[in-house]
Structure 1
Amino acid sequence: MTVSDEELARAKHISVEQVVRLREVRGATNETLDGLSEASVHYALRRLEYPDMPTARGMFRMEQERGDDGRVPAHALGSALEQLWASLAVARPAPVTAGVPTSRADARGRAGPSPTAGMSLAAWEWLGPGNIGGRTRGIVIDPDDPERMWAASAGGGVWHTEDGGGEWQPVDDFLGNLACACIAMDPARPATLYVGTGEGFSNGDALRGNGLFATTDTVTWTPLPATRTPDFAFVSRIAVSSTGEVLLVATNSGVFRCADPGRATWTPVLTGLPVADVKFDPADDARAVAGSMRDGEAWFSRDGGLTWVAAGRGPWSGRVELAYAAADSDVVYASVEMTNGEIWRSTDGGETYEPRKTLDPEGRAAAYLAEQGWYDNVLWAGDPTDADLLLAGGVDLWRSTDGGDRLAEISTWWDRGSVHADQHAVVSHPGYDGVTNRTVFFGNDGGVFKAADLAQVGTEAQPPFVHGWTELVNNYGATQFYAGAGSTTTGKIIGGAQDNGTLCFDPARGTEDWREIFGGDGGWCAADPGDEKVFYGEYVFLNIHRNTDGGTTDDTRGDRYISGQFLNPVTGEWDWKPVPFRIPDAKNRQALFIAPFVLDPNNPERLLAGGRSLWVTDDAKKRNTTTSGPSWRSVKPSAGSPISALAVAPGDSDVIWAGHTDGLVFRTTEGTAATPAWDRVGVTGTRRLEPRRYCTSLTAHPDDTDIVYAAFGGYETGNLWVTRDGGVEWTDLSATLPAVPVRALVLHPRRPRLLYCGTEVGLFASEDEGATWSPTNEGPTNCSVDDLFWMDETLVCVTHGRGMFRIDLSGVP
């Protein structure tokens, strides 16, 4: 059924211009958009106001890693882990510190196989999400036992399944870098796997890598020392020759080649530009192709990757992904970013390319990459019987049966029965023959999915395209959370996740049934301690939303925003309420991508939100309409850089602390006044607050308003400090912590001498108020711990790559 722009505009009460923008930016057809509810169309329009979200995520995360000089040292994460392991070799910590088990890793950082990632350990309990997953950049399958698969997650390391995705487990809790961007199997020796770390695709939360890791038995993973150089900080693709002798690796520094069995010697063979993709001809190890990351370049090699020649092609731009046709390796396809995506084809093995029509079924340009082909761009031509059968992935997946002239959607990003949005990997079943076996696997921002029959999947007459898809996320716990909060009354927990929205865990439903209560990117969270039905979350740039049904339902209309934005019922467009019913810094995008807000622990009606200024509302639960709602006022003027951390003293709402991205920390003792006076702290005493980098966290002592802990980003020492006199004198508590960003800190609610610290390399605990620290990585492992919060005396650990964990510490004497 053909739906014109005008018809769709009338049906959804939007403009023709908005129809065109939705089609281009969401990588969809009019028919797909027609299947959306009107409320969901308007929610999609809301997201159009925030283009290049992956870029914004990346910049946000990068700011937290910079040192005082504004730089992130090469291989800083790996160096920090080595520092940690070296300290463990010198002095083994006690088995338990502050009630939590101490790290099992030895001096090399190895703990032996940990098939449940600490998920079934006696002390730690993994909460999931077991049904959400996370960004997956690569998949490999054992050709001798196709039930055995490995997946590379962007923040949670490599995962493995023995039953075709029925249940996943991490391969190594102490892998030296969990930011895995690609994975490859040696075709001649399937027990040999390689994983590349560090995402080079310019996405916002991309983490730096630490070169390549390898295993020859699928169990024991070790780093390849020769790749621990700045050239291998971002490894995008690994190609292994059919004999397993030669490796080609695409990095942000170019292509590197290794023919050394020990993988000790690497030669730069294509330099000058960042490279996104490199592949061997599956039928001839002498032939290979490569595509650039951002510059619209493609190359070919005829000597096994030793030398490279620029391919003949049209005026290309952006990222270039390539695929050999399994039916005829003279046919090579290119998916070229070019704003919305174009398919080109070579018939001479990648030496020259000609454009295909790249049209949707109605003859319009198929915008399959949706203006973000630099982030999600994948191509597959793996059918051995048909060189014209092609899959292209951007936001959704598209299939072509005529070599890229016409493409049709086979997945629908807005329907839960289909495949998650943002495609990164497509892999054939080892037995795929195009006739009796047409099974293909997919990696995307939601994890791993399967189409049991590529010819039949997504063949509905109209969207949503849900037929034939199987979600294989089961316990694939790679969700990247930023923050969380919980209700001690119901046990429900919410968390803000990268590209997976604000999610809710209900203990009655368990780890396999987390549900989304708000879409997009989630962020900071809060739970009303006196009202089990009220939760707060945020969309990007301080757009705070309120849930009043205990995390039961999803917000599809976007009418839960209490920071000022609303859907205008007259114009059908998003608009802003008048002052004082809006946060100006949210409207003007003056807040951080993930901006801090906190609920006053002494007054659940009082919410504080950090942008350039500090904003407060004293009626956070006021009825929300299109013209009114909670009223906001500024209680702290701009100090230049955005606010990045907030704390209100328990027991005294007048004492407020605010930290900024440039390291400045301020305090007021009259926070409930109309215009509080603020003092910058840490600049007058004999022991000053030294860091001039991102303040990641502020933690107020539960019993003493003069004590606060300040945490900072950067791969430097001195990232955790305490003051005991209201901010005059400061003490550095990081002497026994690794030189990594410290992201969160909490005190035991009954024994405040016990401290728990979340860092870029896991959780640490102290029994002496922070004078010494012991690693406690059994549960969260060495994944980034972005947030910590209490539910009575149970500590909940929020990770950026391994979901959430909790541990009952009520038994601490």
Structure 2
Amino acid sequence: MKKDSRHPILVLVLLAFLYWNCSNEPAISPQGEEGFSSKNLPHEWMFAQRAYPDNHFDKTAINDAYRITQLAKEAARNRNEEEWEPVGPTNIGGRITDIALHPTDQGIIYAGTSVGGIFKTTDGGDNWEVVFEDEGAISIGNIALAPSSPNVVYAGSGEANGSATSGAFFGDGIYKSTDGGENWEYKGLENSQHIGRIAIDPANADRAYVAAMGTLYGKNEERGLYRTLDGGDNWEKVLYLSDSTGCIDVALNPQNADIVYAATWERIRMPWQRRYGGATSRIYRSFDGGDNWELLTDGLPQSNESTGKIGLAISPSEPNILYACYTTNVITNQFDGIYKSTDAGTSWQRIDDGSIDNVFSSFGWFFGNLRVNPLTSDDLYCLGLIAARSLDGGMSWDNVTSNMHVDFHALEIHPQNPDFIVAGNDGGLYISQNGGADWAHVKGIANNMLYNCEIDQLQPERIFAGAQDQGTIRTPTGSTDDFEKILGGDGFQVLVDPTDNNFVFAEFQFGNLYRSEFGGDNMEFIFNADPQDRTNWNTPILLAPDNPTTIYYGAQRLYRSTDRGDNFMPISNDLTDGQHPSGSFSYGTITTIAVAPSDPQTIYVGTDDGNVQVTFSGGDNWQNISEGLPDRYVTQVATSPTDPLTAYVTLSGYRSIDYLPHVLTTTDGGEHWSDISANLPEIPINDIIVHPDFPGLLFIANDMGVWFSENNGGEWKILGTNMPFTVVNDLDLHADEAFLLAATFGRSMLKYDISTLGAVPTKEQLSFQRSLNIYPNPVLGFTKIIFEMPRGEKGKIEVFNLNGSLLKTMADQYFLQGKNEVEIDFSGLPSGMYLVRLAAGGLVFTKKVVKN
């Protein structure tokens, strides 16, 4: 499918962390500055790590990174690299932010996702394709089809709720397609960042209105209600109140599009603080297409410092009837009533019976959409933690969530068939064919927001992942559509014992650690640190590479268990700079743990406040080895498989003004650091993997994909040609099967066959290499070479000096399939170091031998 992207700037988007099971952000009383909450919240995690230590980042760094990544992808295509293969899940969905239905063809549905672009189906949901993923920012705020010309599609980038991560990674404006999503054209409003709603004149596809919220973390002028009269070529800001008040909703009278309604929302967020309300949260009306506006007040709550997010809906069948949903409290935006007007907005009356007072729980800023049946004004939905429905014009309400997931953001009723309803929430997309009596979950949209992934090393078809709002999930077969949940909450770290895969460890947020002794079934709680400890939103755990019955757990100090988690003991003091000034118990924490495979007494940790610490004594003594490293959130520490003094550190954050390295290495245990970022874009790097058999082969995951280096970071290449421009949070490797697994935050999991890389041996070569042993070594006279052949082959065993000169052929014979032992004689050679080379049937391996 051809894509024509014409935008001057692309801002990567990531939206998204909600909270435990129901995504509930706890209400916190204001502290510090009046009207603000200064206690940090769990979903600050994504913003905080990228903005540390200055609490902001420069958007131009993202634009530069996009251009570098785009060029790297083109180079990968020229190298004829392989494509990433989808892993799923497709049967467990992620957040749907908006839905658009074709007005005359019930089979055509568009689904906007939080961080995965736009999906489209033409057969009512049986099959889906991504129609918007490389054009621009792939966080989708709203999608609108022109009623008079439904192949005209407007897409507004940037989810407009108040989630902290929607301010960390934002939209870059409006895109337009005139051929049903086949091709897109950038239409500006670059700094609008978060789009609440798009409304198109029913009779004129060139006249459209965009409700823009502007930046979340801070203030800007590019917010309010925008209008275009020429299909998006030019925009005019027709309603603007202040640099901290945006427009969250807009509705047009379908019989007279000059009558426009707009809801404004005053909200601002700062690191560790927020105020989601104010006196400029209001409803306005225009009778002349937006040239002039009047404030609507009669019967509505008086706007004050506590007035929060407002939702609007107009009845298509009786456009004099409007509904508004109000919230109050600058921290929680709790439900404050459903209001109805029967005179086109002139007067209003609260009509709900109080039965849905908890529809938004304590985070109404995340919800608030209203939807009215296009054929009857008395049938309407209020979308919140649940889906609430009224059949009597808003007076009484029922919970119609039924078998669906919670956290509703989208719902559309087909204008020609009101029995056909499509709903979207944090669990994906649902379709009802009978007016909402029954709902079916839609498969085929791989848009999960994943934190971590794990391959069962003994049964690599078994794949696990930690998912936002969907807990810890797994596939027992490797199929994309049979994933199942094994632990609730938001899923984070998950580990499978590589020697006994009956033991599976998983956690939900803040380090609540569970263990299964049955391959993932029957998870039981085992640990969550000391009550006074600080634990990260994504608390690191690690199985010791030499003995996986030993497990490490990172709080602000490091814990170790030697009995699979039955008992934990701290093996360090606080390895961070101490508690965050906000008083948070989820910052000032360890973020990554690495134990050297060649020396389990050597342990490295990284922290969220820029520290890297190491012990060479199994935890008895620790050294801070951060000198020479940039002061950034440490995302990962990895060690060489053969040398405990060689380690790698990856960092989050964006370049501010000067160059910022994101991958560094040490070969002396942290005394000195070298930058090996080379040609990588200067954006957050979230993970690094060192190939266990080829230590110079490195893989990194960043905010736009996966890269690899075959020369220990001297040069980097992007891996694959089809990875979406989305955040890759985690990687896992199965060396024997030669595939790399990537967990993305918005497009589920993908895997890549790394055997196609020149530096990676085939499975057969790898097995041969690992079987080879020379004993004794060092040698006095005779020694044995022991190895296994995959098949019978003629071959040679030769001895070279270190200059590469052939000294002696020790064997020239036929080697049998299976185990071989060949005795060779070094007695005629002087003392020194030699290279023994075994070559048979295309299998070649060289090993050093010392002659005493």
Shorter-chain TM band: 0.7 to 0.9
What is the correspondence of 1:728-807 to structure 2 with a 5 Å cutoff?
A: 728-792=671-735, 793-807=738-752
Contact 1:58 1:202 in 2 (8 A): no
Aligned twin of 1:548: 517
Asked if 1:483 is matched to 2:452, the reply is yes
Contact 2:176 2:187 in 1 (8 A): no
What is the correspondence of 1:197-346 to structure 2 with a 5 Å cutoff?
A: 197-206=157-166, 207-222=169-184, 224=186, 226-229=188-191, 232-242=192-202, 243-253=204-214, 254-261=223-230, 263-268=232-237, 269-272=239-242, 273-293=245-265, 294-295=276-277, 296-312=281-297, 313-315=300-302, 317-338=307-328, 339-346=334-341
Distance 1:64 1:270, change over 3 A: same
Contact 1:524 1:596 in 2 (8 A): yes
- 1:531 is paired with a residue whose SS is coil
Give the distance between the partners of 2:565 and 2:755, measured in 1 at CA.
32
Give the distance between the partners of 1:143 and 1:390, measured in 2 at CA.
19
- 2:556 is paired with a residue whose SS is coil
Distance 1:162 1:736, change over 3 A: same
Contact 1:713 1:743 in 2 (8 A): yes
Give the distance between the partners of 1:48 and 1:85, measured in 2 at CA.
37
Given candidates 649, 653, 661, the residue that maps to 1:718 is 661
Deviation track 1:463-499 (CA, whole Å, cap 9, x = no partner) reads xxxxx11111x22000000001121222312111111
Aligned twin of 2:372: 381
Letter in 2 for 1:65: R
Shift of 1:601: 1.6
Distance 1:411 1:304, change over 3 A: same
Contact 2:24 2:361 in 1 (8 A): no
Give the distance between the partners of 2:545 and 2:346, measured in 1 at CA.
65
Asked if 1:506 is matched to 2:497, the reply is no
Asked if 1:188 is matched to 2:158, the reply is no
Shift of 1:67: 5.4
Give the distance between the partners of 1:221 and 1:74, measured in 2 at CA.
26
Give the distance between the partners of 1:589 and 1:279, measured in 2 at CA.
49
Q: CA RMSD in A?
A: 2.6
Give the distance between the partners of 1:470 and 1:186, measured in 2 at CA.
28
Contact 2:23 2:407 in 1 (8 A): no
Letter in 1 for 2:59: A
Give the distance between the partners of 1:48 and 1:256, measured in 2 at CA.
30
What is the correspondence of 1:271-670 to structure 2 with a 5 Å cutoff?
A: 271-272=241-242, 273-293=245-265, 294-295=276-277, 296-312=281-297, 313-315=300-302, 317-338=307-328, 339-360=334-355, 366-384=357-375, 386-412=376-402, 418-432=403-417, 437-454=418-435, 457=437, 468-472=438-442, 474-491=443-460, 492-507=462-477, 510-552=479-521, 560-564=524-528, 583-584=529-530, 587-588=531-532, 590-622=534-566, 630-639=567-576, 640=578, 641-670=588-617
Give the distance between the partners of 1:264 and 1:453, measured in 2 at CA.
41
Shift of 1:777: 4.4
Shift of 1:370: 1.9
What residue ranges of structure 2 are gaps of 5+ in the alignment? 1-17, 29-36, 215-222, 266-275, 329-333, 579-587, 762-852
Distance 1:211 1:634, change over 3 A: farther
Contact 2:224 2:264 in 1 (8 A): no
Letter in 2 for 1:608: Y
Task: Give the TM-score normalised by structure 2.
Answer: 0.75
Asked if 1:692 is matched to 2:631, the reply is yes
Give the distance between the partners of 2:747 and 2:312, measured in 1 at CA.
31
Letter in 2 for 1:500: Q
Shift of 1:283: 2.2
Contact 1:287 1:304 in 2 (8 A): yes
Contact 1:377 1:423 in 2 (8 A): no
Shift of 1:670: 1.4
Shift of 1:262: 5.5
Greater fraction strand: 2
Asked if 1:808 is matched to 2:753, the reply is yes
Distance 1:78 1:589, change over 3 A: farther
Shift of 1:282: 2.2
What is the correspondence of 1:90-105 to structure 2 with a 5 Å cutoff?
A: 92-93=75-76, 95-96=78-79, 102=81
Distance 1:244 1:497, change over 3 A: same
Aligned twin of 1:627: none
Distance 1:521 1:162, change over 3 A: same
Give the distance between the partners of 1:532 and 1:153, measured in 2 at CA.
34
Letter in 2 for 1:377: G
What is the correspondence of 1:133-212 to structure 2 with a 5 Å cutoff?
A: 133-206=93-166, 207-212=169-174
* Count of matched residue positions in the alignment of Structure 1 and Structure 2: 677
Shift of 1:187: 2.1
Give the distance between the partners of 2:212 and 2:25, measured in 1 at CA.
32
Letter in 1 for 2:569: W
Contact 1:341 1:369 in 2 (8 A): no
Contact 2:25 2:363 in 1 (8 A): no
Shift of 1:63: 1.2
> Greater relative contact order: 1 or 2 (C-alpha under 8 angstroms, separation 6 or more)?
1
Task: Give the TM-score normalised by structure 1.
Answer: 0.79
- Bigger shift: residues 73-82 or 374-383: 73-82
Letter in 2 for 1:714: G
Give the distance between the partners of 1:548 and 1:469, measured in 2 at CA.
36
Give the distance between the partners of 1:174 and 1:681, measured in 2 at CA.
40
Shift of 1:47: 9.0
Give the distance between the partners of 1:515 and 1:168, measured in 2 at CA.
21
Distance 1:55 1:327, change over 3 A: farther
Shift of 1:751: 2.1
Give the distance between the partners of 1:808 and 1:777, measured in 2 at CA.
10
Shift of 1:681: 1.3
Contact 1:239 1:249 in 2 (8 A): yes
Asked if 1:703 is matched to 2:642, the reply is yes
Deviation track 1:298-356 (CA, whole Å, cap 9, x = no partner) reads 22222223333322111462211111112211111112234145211122323443211
Distance 1:772 1:224, change over 3 A: same
Aligned twin of 2:46: 61
Give the distance between the partners of 1:788 and 1:342, measured in 2 at CA.
46
Letter in 1 for 2:340: R
Shift of 1:75: 6.1
Give the distance between the partners of 1:611 and 1:341, measured in 2 at CA.
40
Q: Pick the structure with greater CA Rg.
A: 2
Distance 1:368 1:274, change over 3 A: same
Give the distance between the partners of 2:562 and 2:697, measured in 1 at CA.
33
Contact 1:74 1:233 in 2 (8 A): no
Contact 2:665 2:673 in 1 (8 A): yes
Aligned twin of 1:462: none
What residue ranges of structure 1 are gaps of 5+ in the alignment? 1-25, 27-42, 103-121, 413-417, 458-467, 565-582, 623-629
Shift of 1:71: 0.8
Aligned twin of 1:19: none
- 2:388 is paired with a residue whose SS is strand
